[in-house]
Structure 1
Amino acid sequence: METQSNPHHLILGKLNDFLTGAVLADTLDERYRQKIAKHLVSVCGFEKKDIQSNVNLEVAAGEKKASVKIDFLVRHKKKIIALIKFAPGSLVTRRLSTLALSRIIKPYQVPIVVITNGEDAEIIDGNSGKVVATGLKNLPDKNAVEKNMSSFLFEPVKTVRFDQASRIAYACEVDGACPCDSDVCIL
């Protein structure tokens, strides 16, 4: 076992990232992230090049700013169609903050929002904020995205909604984070 920068994460060695080939610390959380990435490619039919992983996003609450990680953004026809956030534990407690992240990552509302703990998932309609499906088996697949692409609104996020979403994301992802969480960087 290696020395750990985050004592809450047992480092089991190293592993190769499925999407990029980069060498990463092998943790239980990272194993779930790899499982999700493999599922998006092998089951859902997306190409590796259409999945962006480990994306930094700046969130703000007034003058306070921080950088948080988004686990996956899935692209189709030059648009981000899905934001996927991994978080261990209860999904319902992460629903609001994940939806908020989907409203600030791009200048438009990301249509599909997913919160997953690696064992279960909630698939949320980005526009309505309602859970439309549950379970990893219901993650969006490429065929369904192609069929529904014309129904995705990609509505611009208004300034007031953007500010509200950023404050929610900051409160949940930064203020609510464990002090040893290495995925959050206060700026």
Structure 2
Amino acid sequence: MAVESIQVDATSIRHPLFAQIHRAMRLGRCIRVLYRSLSNPEAHERLIRLHSLIQAGPRWHIRAYCSKAEAFCDLNLGRISAASASEDAGLPRLDRDVDWHRIVAVRLVPHRDLSAEQVRMVREEYMGGTAATVFNVRAPIAKYLIQSFRAAIDPERERAPEHLLMVYQPEELPAVADIRRL
């Protein structure tokens, strides 16, 4: 009997860089990183205090307070090209990350455009025959959960059959859970 998995890790990280990041996280220290983002693709320096690793499908992220963003945010680990120790700059620690400590309920239901027979099949496949499946997750992780299920946030634009599921009452989720910010 063969078992195949498409669970892949697409984040390319050099071991010495990961070791620096992991050490800073474990010790609660600040580090300076060279980071690239879609909004700023040129490598630029950021001072961060990180507290958690997040696996989101094929990519890895770190949850950190970033002095540039002046907020807690998720940084794609594969977009960090260098890291160096930094003096403690008084950046907030994990206990100040209000969104991280906030648990939200993400309720997934069959997409409203499915036929009655398709709804029944999707309920059996994803929900054990019930009307919905609910995941209680940290608010910043909700967007990754929604993405992993390819659940529609806007069922008018995100149609079945490409989206078998949709988020029930997405307007009730906090802004940090917005998948459109990925």
Q: Which has the higher contact order (CA 8 A, sep 6+)?
A: 1
TM-score (norm. length: structure 1): 0.31
Report the structure number with the largest CA radius of gyration.
2
